[in-house]
Amino acid sequence: MPQSTHLQTIPVGPLGLIVMDSCSSLGKKVNDYLVTWRRERENEHKTTIQFNGYQRDSYLINAKAPRFGSGEAKGVINESVRGDDLYIMVDVCNYSLTYSLSGYVNHMSPDDHFQDLKRIIAAVGGKARRINVIMPFLYESRQHKRTARESLDCAMALQELTRMGVENILTFDAHDPRVQNAIPLKGFENVPCIYQFMKALLRTEPNLDLDSDHMMIISPDEGGMGRAVTFANYLGLDVGMFYKRRDYTRIVDGKNPIVAHEFLGSNVEGKNVLIVDDMISSGDSMMDVARELKRRKAAKVFIASTFGLFTNGLAKFDAAYDQGIIDRVLTTNLVYQTPELLSRPYYVNVDLSKYIALLIDNLNHNSSLQDLLIPTDRINRLLERYKNREK
């Protein structure tokens, strides 16, 4: 059960959780945590009018985005949300959902999910006390800056949401968190997952030596160096980086193809390495990095990525595991996970539902998120227990 110091403040409003179909499994877990905590929590003010609706059997609000046969849709909320502090959860990467389009089966794209999110916000009709959006994979976050005559999709999406009345946007491991500059007067939280990754890895690998002589953190490219340095600082490890040398004379699938991966760092021979990144898309780049580390005689290779999209399937990961190139792949349940992925022997599912519930619980009380966003103490306690082999 989480610490209750923030309960000295009055909730912003009765808590309401709208979970889009795209993340129904994750949302149910979040709701279960909130129901349990608030049922068990002791507070002398819980019977006052300011805490009206504080304890419920469920915080889930019945909301849908049904579609017509033409593919058009509408947002519908089937119960009152007047005065509620609403949290809307959406996974824009869930391609498993389908709808009928003039008799054809169409898989939902990120654009479809984003439109449905706006429909639900529109259905609220300004009746809620506050609207917060929890969008783990930030919509269009890979199109966050302009380098030619091209659109600025992420910035436009953020501005559109805030114009519709959204007060806070929570996302995880944004591709470039500086995109929040598009909405400087609204709340934007870029939530890290370092503690959850370390907890999952140490639980899965009980015999790691967490020192610079036996382990190293690797960034697969220059853009993720800050993330790797953060990991390394928490763990007291050395850090290395691969530089992607690209062919800027050609564009393949919307990007310049990688010619080679050049390594910058100390010797990795005999060391376990942890490759950290924000997402696995096709996985080609990650596999190239893993092979290069194995060529340099690294011991075990672990991959930790917040978003496992696996857009080209799992075949290359299966082959790499069979060949001994990778040992573990850790991704979160913040985006859709296929049953095939969950069944793989090398895969470690990092559950973020409790973390999201803690964030919602604190925000509902207008309490500081600093201890949750900067998990130094929790990581230190985790490492101390691990080194002392306390189960």
94 vs 100, residue with greater confidence: 94
- Tell me, what's the pLDDT at 6? 52
Cβ neighbours of 59 (radius 10 Å): 25
Q: Which of 215, 216, 229, 220 is nearest to 289 (CA)?
A: 220
Mean per-residue pLDDT, 149-163: 94
Q: Is 44 a residue whose pLDDT tops 90?
A: no
pTM for the predicted model, two decimal places: 0.91
Average pLDDT, rounded, for the chain: 90
Q: Bridge partners of 99?
A: 106
Q: Are 201 and 195 within 8 A, CB to CB?
A: no
Q: How many residues does the chain have?
A: 391
Give per-residue pLDDT as tens, 358-372: 999 999 999 888 889
Q: Are 329 and 347 within 8 A, CB to CB?
A: yes
Give per-residue pLDDT as tens, 327-343: 999 999 999 999 999 99
Mean per-residue pLDDT, 183-211: 92
- Tell me, what's the pLDDT at 264? 85
- The CA distance from 82 to 63, in Å, is 14
Mean per-residue pLDDT, 176-180: 91
39 CB-near residues (< 8 Å, 6+ apart): 55
374 CB-near residues (< 8 Å, 6+ apart): none
| E-only strand ranges, 58-174 | 63-64, 76-77, 85-89, 98-101, 104-107, 130-134, 166-172
Give per-residue pLDDT as tens, 71-85: 899 999 999 999 999
Pairing mode, strands 328-332 and 301-308: parallel
Q: pLDDT exceeding 90 applies to what percent of the chain?
A: 65
Mean per-residue pLDDT, 264-289: 91
Q: Is 234 a residue whose pLDDT tops 80?
A: yes
Alpha carbons within 13 A on the beta-carbon side of 166: 27
Q: Is 391 a residue whose pLDDT tops 80?
A: no
373 vs 255, residue with greater confidence: 373
